Chain A
Amino acid sequence: MWEPIARFLGPKPVEVVPYYVAGAVIFSVLVIVLLINLPSRARKPLIAIVTFLAGLFYATEFFLPIDEATQKNILTDYLVPARKLGSLLAGMTLTLGILSLVRVHGRNIVRLRAGWYNSAVLLGAMIAMVVFGLIDKYGTHEASKKIFNVLFEGMLINMDATMFSLIAFYIVSASYRAFRIRSVEATILMTAAFLVMLGQVPVGLALTAWIPREGDFAWMRLEVVKEWLLTVLNAAALRAIAFGLGVGGLAISLRIWLSLERGAYFEKEI
């Protein structure tokens, strides 16, 4: 029963690959046309069915007993094709995102709305990264490769790091302004924060480095105090939160899988 499907999804001789690609493109276009023309009332049930089947595949594969010799069940061989299908879908969602971005910001530029130049920079940067990225991967033109390096390593990565490092400045300012010992709880919190912060850095650790690592007073060393605070008190609280999150996550997963989720996005007309 599964063999024809496995043959269909399995590797193909090079000479027939173009036919499969052409077939896949035609099939995809037909599916997209069909989906676009689907009446609104039929879209939600379709999404519910696809979501249910996708979830069912992974759940069934996980729970079905495996054959001891092959370490597989009848669905195991389809995990890799399912992964590839997932990557394709991710690629399609990326395309949707790009189309949406171009539409929104293109409109800003055409109508010269307030801040249109920001939209122009965004679209220009996006196009430049795509063009030079493709040249870098498939082309041989050295100068273009250098431009991609400047865009990616010289600009993108450093701008990303700059944005992230700004947090440090805000943390300094915010902790200085907000951390006031106004209550017993605040005092406990600040004491714990100081001990952990000192225990995190060599300068702090040097303060108690003179206390012997072994013996009755070893617990007074900052790294030991910090470890105790983090692994006992903090871990206990986090364990409780993790349990709550786990149960909540399971409930939400079930609701999404069975299309029972309501509110916000889920009740939107599509």
Chain B
Amino acid sequence: MNTSITIWQKLQAIDRRILYLLLLVVIITPIFLPIRLPTVTMPSTQRLFDAIESIPPGGFIMVSCTWSGGTRAENMPQTEAILRHAMMRRLRVAVFSFDVQGAQLSLQIAQRLAKEYNYQYEVDWVHLGFHPLASVVMKSMVRDIPGTFDKDYQGKPTKDMPVFRGIKDIQNVDAIVEIAASGIYADWIGLVVGANKQMKFGFCPTSVMVPETYPYLASGQIVGTMEGMRGAAEYESLIRKRGLASAGMGSISLAHLLIMLLIVIGNIGYFASRARRS
């Protein structure tokens, strides 16, 4: 009897090092042995895709990359998917960041994709670098985009760059997509989105940020979202270009299942111990 009680108690107190090892195994295994999983596109991802799809070629889209190395696993595939879609659609793209690391990382992604899609710098796309004080920049760009972003990431004046032709203020922007690991969407909604009712505002948060965004999706202030790595995988499937996110879905799926399994095991131990005691 004592032995069986010990087993139930043990089920509730598995050594944390074993848990860490299990997680490591379930994350690493699908990277080497890929699992092909079906992708079901969520309405929020579809809405973001449709919004970008509805912009005519030559339209102007601004992509803000407020993320850093810490959330690269989720935000990098999102950035890549959005930029890829914009370049596939031959939209004019302006990339910038409210984060120092985000500026550097987004520049590398944009440069790589620009080569792939034969995008010419200054003509088809531009990188506007790092800008501190997000809310002040947003407030300013509503009325004057060339003035707010007067230099690119190299310090070169943007005034006469062909990519900015016809762009004076927020009224000339077709879409803004924020890729972030923070609640910066609230600033965009409060300061920019209402100033141009025709403009589409998309948000690509990390998974933990997703639940916060639903009220704004329902109100239409956010046109669509790409929810973490899963959203990026869905987007990759929509643009028919499987990439990092699709490859990572096996790991994420197994990690979720592991967490659920461990919770169930812990509860079995808890109930069995309680039944024994009573």
Residues of chain A whose beta carbon lies under 8 Å from any beta carbon of chain B: 58, 71-72, 76, 79-80, 82-83, 86-87, 90-91, 152, 156-161, 163-165, 168-169, 171-173, 175-177, 179-181, 190, 194, 197-198, 200-206, 209, 223, 227, 230-231, 234-235, 238-239, 242
The chain A residue with its CB closest to the CB of B217 is: A231
With the chains together, A82 CA to B136 CA distance in Å? 8
CB distance from B266 to the nearest CB of A (A): 5
Query: Known contacts A83-B140, A172-B23, A173-B19: does B105 contact A157 (CB below 8 Å)?
Result: yes
With the chains together, A71 CA to B131 CA distance in Å? 25
Range, interface on chain B: 35 or more
- Tell me whether B143 and A79 are in contact (CB under 8 A): yes
With the chains together, A34 CA to B71 CA distance in Å? 44
30 A-B contacts (beta carbon < 8 Å): A71-B171, A80-B140, A82-B136, A83-B136, A83-B148, A157-B69, A158-B69, A160-B70, A161-B70, A164-B69, A164-B71, A169-B20, A172-B19, A172-B22, A172-B23, A172-B262, A175-B262, A176-B262, A176-B265, A177-B266, A180-B267, A181-B267, A201-B230, A201-B249, A202-B38, A203-B253, A206-B38, A231-B218, A235-B218, A238-B214
The chain A residue with its CB closest to the CB of B22 is: A172
- Tell me whether B254 and A203 are in contact (CB under 8 A): yes
Residues from chain B with Cβ under 8 Å of A235 in the complex: 214-215, 218
Residues of chain B whose beta carbon lies under 8 Å from any beta carbon of chain A: 12-14, 16, 19-20, 22-23, 27, 37-40, 42-43, 68-73, 101, 104-105, 131-133, 136-137, 139-140, 143-144, 147-148, 150, 169, 171, 207, 210-212, 214-215, 217-218, 230, 233, 249, 252-260, 262-263, 265-267, 270-271
- Tell me whether A168 and B23 are in contact (CB under 8 A): yes
CB distance from B268 to the nearest CB of A (A): 11
CB distance from A149 to the nearest CB of B (A): 10
With the chains together, A79 CA to B265 CA distance in Å? 59
